[in-house]
Amino acid sequence: MDDQLSRVFSALADPIRRDMVARLADADAGVNELAEPYDVSLQAVSKHLKVLEEAGLVSRTRQAQRRPVHLEAEVFDLMTKWIERYRRRAEERYRRLDDVLAEMDTEQKPRPDSERGAS
Amino acid sequence: MNTTTRETTIAADPSAPTILITREFDAPRENVFRAHAEPDLVKRWLGPRGLEMDIDRWDCETGGAYRYTHRDDDGEYAFYGSFHEVRPHERIVQTFTFEGWPDGVSLERMLFVDLGDGRCRIEALSVFESIEARDGMLASGMEHGVREGYEQLDELLAG
């Protein structure tokens, strides 16, 4: 798999990192703030952040001591687009199935009482 | 995302490696099931538009197996799997592998729900090995779009 793409996916494969991302969707946050709810060391949280940063999912401003973490929302728009495209493909398939079902109706009326044996 | 009741809905659980697709049909479930079970009917709708679909094997019964190939100008894409359980008119459980990625396998559980009045709902649940594998499937759209997805992502990450 493409390097950058797999980085995004493996970054999101971890539950703590997904939770951090969900919280960053509300507002930027500092590392201490982010670490608060988890029972892990500050170093562990920094490591998670580094993974997210390398995947392009978050960025950290250089300004000030606090260096708040910022979510790069565009990547998630992309995920939403992927899901929508996948859905549209399924819908296209099922519209063809609609047509097949309509044709089956005219080809022969279904016989609900008789079990059709496997051909 | 909300659409009309007839349109396909999709749910990708953020914390589990699954995709759930539901769709209603104005047809009795016996027919909807047949359109999944009989290869001559399957061939007429399963393949993506503009691609030829050849069914090499389609033994839709418990313990059976399937393999089919899509063709376009760029090449061939083959998919195969086993029918774990086929319960006529009610349920099909099958495995799914894209031969271009032989290490990947998903489990698909399809329910055919009778809605009465000659209508039916399909509930197709796909279970992947990991969230990463699920997202990879969403991104690729299976046959197309792997390249497209990479290009978009490259652009985004380069920006």
| CB–CB contact A91 B23 (8 Å) | yes
pLDDT in 10s for each residue of chain B, 159 residues = 333 457 899 988 877 899 999 999 999 999 999 999 999 999 889 877 667 789 999 999 999 999 999 887 778 889 999 999 999 999 999 999 989 888 889 999 999 999 999 999 999 999 999 887 888 788 765 444 444 444 554 555 455
Kindly state whether residues A33 and A89 are assigned to the same domain: no
Q: Which of A74, A79, A86, A113 to mutate to test the interface with B (most CBs of B within 10 A)?
A: A86
Q: Could you give the number of structural domains in chain B? A: 1
Using CA atoms, how far apart are residues A112 and B115, in angstroms rounded to an integer? 14
Question: How close is the nearest chain A Cα to the Cα of B115, in Å?
Answer: 14
Q: Which domain holds residue B94?
A: 13-131
- According to DSSP, residue A29 is labeled B
> For A4-14, b where at least 16 C-beta lie within 10 A, e where not — what string?
bbebbbbbbbe
Is residue A112 a part of any domain in this protein?
no
Is residue A90 a contact partner of residue B23, using CB atoms and an 8 Å limit? Answer: yes
Is residue A78 a contact partner of residue A57, using CB atoms and an 8 Å limit? Answer: no
Is residue A54 a part of any domain in this protein?
yes
Dihedral sign for Cα A34, A37, A40, A42, please: positive
Q: Could you give the number of structural domains in chain A? A: 2
Q: Quick check: A102 pLDDT over 60? A: yes
Query: For the whole model, what pTM was predicted?
Result: 0.68
- According to DSSP, residue B31 is labeled H
Q: Quick check: A18 pLDDT over 90? A: no
Q: Which domain holds residue A65?
A: 3-71
Kindly state whether residues A18 and A59 are assigned to the same domain: yes
Residues 6+ apart with CB under 8 A from B31: A101, A104, A105, A110
| CB–CB contact B35 A2 (8 Å) | no
| Burial of B105 per CB tally in 10 Å (0-12, 13-18, 19+) | middle
pLDDT at B145: 40
Is residue A42 a part of any domain in this protein?
yes
How far from the centroid of its chain's Cα atoms is residue A98's Cα?
30
Q: Which of A32-46, A52-66, B20-34, B119-133 has the lowest mean pLDDT?
A: A52-66
